[in-house]
């Protein structure tokens, strides 16, 4: 599945006490191995400690550093983990602040710090030389010769490409990690000694996440801890692991013990992002520096328990305040988009078909807000409810109440007689409740609102959402069609939260009460007759499957281009408490088949705004042949 577990570590240190420091580095390595980590990154100059000052020029300290590296190499011989440890290294009569990369008894390479801070509280140039121009050199120690030395080293194991920079490098205008990522590195480590002052930690973590997003990489950061000298500065042992802009794990700073944190990195995600991003590829082409590739091989890729946090609802933030902010922004995008279309067409009216369901409710709320912004009277919004064979009292009453309370021009047109006439015209038995029976109603409703729009000089506002487009859960040239679709890139799991946001933040109490009842109504097209109790008999999720599963499948299939096997693995892990494995596999099969076979509908959808990272617009994000075969993807699930 292309996962790897990595660790960031902060060992106990004594300034200049190399044996003590080495012992605690080894303790942290053992902890990382117990957690099945394949990489452990230590702080800057962790062999000696960072705050040695003029002791860095002491020959004894430098000699013992090399001896400690030999001991660490011996210690690592039978350990299947890549180790990045900080040490002062003498080369060509210059002292360099370095990351020594060790694997199974050997130093694979040494990376010097590119940028040496010499301002405010840092004066490293008193001892160290910048390594910015050190490329493809070799270092000899008494126990190992011809060790690669330079800033362009990449340590390669299959699709895993590791590279390293040191502290200040990240703060440069163009960090070395930017170049290293263009050379292919997808896992970046930073050995750091960053002191604490008020608010620096949050800025630093934002910097780390931003760099991991910009480079489309994983970024593992380890900084020196509280046992560094506090003569003038305090260090906190800040540890964090980021992936493509997301902070996967971080620690509580100022701990007084050996500490490691771990996370599982998704290499497939990183590599897919780079493959998709044209700017990244173009940047690679304009960058001429070649890496020094150092190959090595892990014994196995066991990452232990799969404890990576996978969101059940990837389109919906878990945090309430973040979710509300997201909903506010999306609602603003929808209204801004519709406002532009209305002002461009110079039409002063809009027509919306209202069913009492979630999607049409959200569309109407968008239209109302847009008209308020444009200072167009709400009476210019023509809301039409069109009861049919399956319309229930609950949805009907909600539709009527909502339209009237919002102050729109409300019209009711019963479609039963028109549909019965049409059944007669096409020789269809009204008692056969098949797709023809359903689609006749959907197309009749669309014909009505289209003709009203023509008559009134208005714009038909589409109500269908992203999840329905993905599954093709719409009638071609029926509810599939409109003059502008405001919900077209909003998945069903998010529609619910948008309506709730409006209920909580944008409307009066009486309208909010109606919206809450809409939220509690089962999702249904209401195209089949009601049951004996007058309730909804046709529930969408009973037919096509749970929308939360389909939205999960959609995100990982389109946004990250994952294989069905990987999507199935993640879904089984994420929804293990809600659905059985067989159920998840069943609905994934349904998703794949419907996604492929219903592309012809997406190829002909009207305009509508993109609001998130996934859109199925045939003019933008998703261009797929309508006659593509799903067999390869279905077969891969069976093989799994």
Give the tens place of pLDDT for each residue, 133-153.
999 999 999 999 999 999 999
Please check if 401 is assigned to a binding site. no
Predicted confidence at residue 70, as pLDDT, reads 98
Could you give the CA distance from residue 39 to residue 161 in angstroms, rounded to a whole number? Answer: 12
Please check if 359 is assigned to a binding site. yes
**Spans of all domains in the chain:** 3-295, 320-639
Question: 536 or 489: which carries more pLDDT confidence?
Answer: 489
- Residue 122: phi and psi, rounded to 5, are -110, 135
pLDDT beyond 80 at 583: yes
pLDDT beyond 60 at 264: yes
Predicted confidence at residue 245, as pLDDT, reads 95
Predicted confidence at residue 270, as pLDDT, reads 94
- pLDDT tens digits, 200-238: 999 999 999 999 999 999 999 999 999 998 898 899 999
Predicted confidence at residue 289, as pLDDT, reads 80
Please check if 633 is assigned to a binding site. no
The CA-atom distances, in angstroms, between 46 and each of 6, 17, 249, 577, 622 are 18, 11, 21, 43, 49
Please check if 556 is assigned to a binding site. no
**pTM of the model as a whole:** 0.91
Please check if 431 is assigned to a binding site. no
Predicted confidence at residue 614, as pLDDT, reads 94
Predicted confidence at residue 536, as pLDDT, reads 57
Helix or strand holding residue 71 (H, E) = helix 59-75
Q: C-alpha angle 358/360/366, rounded to 5°? A: 100
Predicted confidence at residue 121, as pLDDT, reads 82
- pLDDT tens digits, 145-194: 999 999 999 999 999 999 999 999 999 999 999 999 999 999 999 999 99
Window from 276-285, 392-401, 485-494, 537-546 with minimum mean pLDDT: 537-546
Mean pLDDT, residues 604-632 taken together:
95
Mean pLDDT, residues 250-261 taken together:
94
Residue 560's nearest CA partner among 312, 272, 271, 317 is 272
Could you give the CA distance from residue 349 to residue 382 in angstroms, rounded to a whole number? Answer: 7
Protein fold of 320-639: Rossmann fold (3.40.50)
Predicted confidence at residue 530, as pLDDT, reads 62
Predicted confidence at residue 538, as pLDDT, reads 62
Predicted confidence at residue 527, as pLDDT, reads 56
- pLDDT tens digits, 477-530: 999 999 999 999 999 999 999 999 999 988 889 999 999 999 888 776 655 666
Over its C-alpha atoms, the chain yields an Rg (Å, rounded) of 31
Mean pLDDT, residues 551-575 taken together:
96
- pLDDT tens digits, 293-319: 999 999 999 999 999 999 999 999 989
Question: 119 or 99: which carries more pLDDT confidence?
Answer: 99
Please check if 475 is assigned to a binding site. yes
Please check if 463 is assigned to a binding site. yes
Q: What is the DSSP string of 542-586?
A: HHH--HHHHHHHHIIIIIS---HHHHHHHHHHHTTTTS-HHHHHH
Please check if 229 is assigned to a binding site. no
Contact (Cβ atoms closer than 8 angstroms) between residue 519 and residue 500: yes
The share of the chain scoring above pLDDT 70, in percent, equals 97
Could you give the CA distance from residue 112 to residue 134 in angstroms, rounded to a whole number? Answer: 8
Predicted confidence at residue 601, as pLDDT, reads 97
Average per-residue pLDDT for the chain: 94
Contact (Cβ atoms closer than 8 angstroms) between residue 101 and residue 110: yes
Please check if 189 is assigned to a binding site. no
- Residue 259: phi and psi, rounded to 5, are -140, 140
Q: What is the CATH number of domain 3-295?
A: 3.60.110.10
Predicted confidence at residue 512, as pLDDT, reads 93
Please check if 354 is assigned to a binding site. yes
Mean pLDDT, residues 269-283 taken together:
89
Mean pLDDT, residues 311-339 taken together:
95
Please check if 255 is assigned to a binding site. no
Predicted confidence at residue 522, as pLDDT, reads 77
pLDDT beyond 70 at 535: no
Predicted confidence at residue 638, as pLDDT, reads 72
Please check if 358 is assigned to a binding site. yes
Mean pLDDT, residues 39-57 taken together:
96
- pLDDT tens digits, 408-446: 999 999 999 999 999 999 999 999 999 999 999 999 999
Sheet order of strands, 82-91 included? 137-139, 147-149, 106-112, 94-103, 82-91, 39-41, 3-10, 259-266
Sheet order of strands, 239-243 included? 246-250, 239-243, 218-223, 187-192, 160-166, 153-157, 292-295
Please check if 286 is assigned to a binding site. no
- Provide the annotated active-site residues: 44, 113, 167
- pLDDT tens digits, 63-77: 999 999 999 999 999
Give every CB contact of residue 429 below 8 A, 6+ residues apart in sequence: 423
């Amino acid at each position: 599945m292309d996962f790897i577990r990595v660790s960031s570590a902060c060992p106990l240190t004594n300034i200049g006490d190399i044996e003590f420091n080495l012992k605690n580095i080894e303790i942290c390595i053992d902890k990382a191995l117990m957690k099945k980590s394949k990489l452990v990154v230590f702080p800057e100059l962790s062999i000696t400690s960072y705050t040695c000052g003029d002791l860095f020029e002491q020959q004894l300290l430098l000699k013992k550093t090399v001896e400690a590296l030999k001991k660490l190499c011996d210690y690592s011989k039978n350990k299947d983990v890549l180790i990045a440890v900080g040490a002062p290294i003498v080369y060509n009569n210059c002292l360099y602040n370095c990351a020594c990369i060790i694997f199974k008894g050997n130093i694979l390479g040494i990376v010097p710090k590119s940028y040496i801070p010499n301002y405010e509280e840092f004066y490293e140039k008193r001892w160290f030389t910048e390594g910015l121009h050190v490329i493809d050199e070799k270092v000899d120690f008494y126990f190992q010769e011809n060790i690669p030395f330079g800033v362009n080293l990449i340590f390669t194991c299959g699709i895993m490409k590791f590279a390293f920079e040191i502290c200040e490098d990240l703060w440069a205008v163009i960090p070395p990690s930017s170049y290293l990522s263009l050379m292919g590195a997808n896992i970046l480590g930073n050995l750091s000694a960053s002191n604490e002052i008020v608010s620096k930690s949050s800025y630093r973590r934002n910097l780390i996440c931003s760099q991991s997003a910009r480079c489309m990489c994983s970024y593992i950061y380890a900084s020196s801890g509280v046992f560094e000298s506090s003569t003038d500065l305090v260090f906190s042992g800040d540890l964090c692991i980021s992936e493509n802009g997301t902070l996967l794990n971080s620690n509580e700073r100022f701990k007084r013990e050996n500490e490691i944190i771990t996370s599982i990195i998704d290499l497939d995600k990183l590599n897919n992002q780079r493959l998709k991003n044209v700017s990244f590829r173009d940047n690679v082409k304009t960058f001429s520096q070649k890496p020094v590739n150092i190959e090595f091989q892990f014994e196995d890729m066991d990452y232990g328990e799969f404890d990576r946090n996978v969101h059940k609802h990837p389109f919906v933030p878990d945090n309430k305040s973040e979710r509300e902010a997201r909903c506010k922004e999306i609602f603003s995008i929808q209204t801004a988009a519709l406002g532009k279309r209305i002002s461009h067409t110079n039409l002063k009216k809009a027509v919306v078909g209202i069913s009492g369901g979630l999607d049409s409710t959200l569309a109407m709320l968008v239209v109302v807000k847009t008209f308020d912004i444009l200072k167009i009277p709400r009476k210019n919004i023509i809301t039409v409810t069109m009861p049919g064979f399956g319309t229930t009292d609950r949805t009907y009453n909600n539709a009527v109440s909502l339209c009237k309370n919002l102050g729109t021009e409300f019209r009711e047109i019963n479609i039963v007689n028109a549909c019965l006439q049409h059944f007669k015209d096409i020789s269809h038995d009204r008692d056969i409740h098949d797709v023809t029976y359903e689609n006749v109603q959907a197309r009749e409703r669309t014909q009505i609102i289209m003709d009203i729009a023509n008559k009134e000089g208005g714009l038909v506002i589409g109500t269908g959402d992203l999840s329905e487009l993905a599954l093709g859960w719409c009638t071609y040239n029926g509810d599939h069609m409109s003059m502008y679709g405001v919900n077209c890139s909003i998945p069903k799991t998010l529609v619910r939260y948008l309506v709730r946001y409006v209920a909580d933040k944008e409307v009066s109490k009486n309208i909010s009460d109606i919206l809450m009842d809409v939220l509690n109504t089962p999702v249904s097209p209401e195209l089949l007759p009601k049951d004996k109790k007058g309730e909804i008999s046709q529930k969408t999720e009973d037919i096509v499957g749970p929308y939360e599963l389909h939205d999960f499948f959609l995100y990982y299939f389109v946004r990250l281009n994952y294989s069905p096997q990987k999507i199935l693995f993640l879904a089984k892990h994420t929804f293990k408490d809600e659905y059985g494995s067989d159920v998840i596999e069943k609905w994934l099969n349904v998703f794949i088949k419907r996604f492929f076979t219903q592309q012809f509908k997406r190829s002909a959808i009207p305009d509508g705004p993109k609001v998130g990272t996934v859109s199925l617009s045939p003019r933008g994000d998703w261009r797929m042949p309508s006659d593509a075969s799903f067999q390869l993807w279905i077969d891969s699930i069976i093989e799994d």
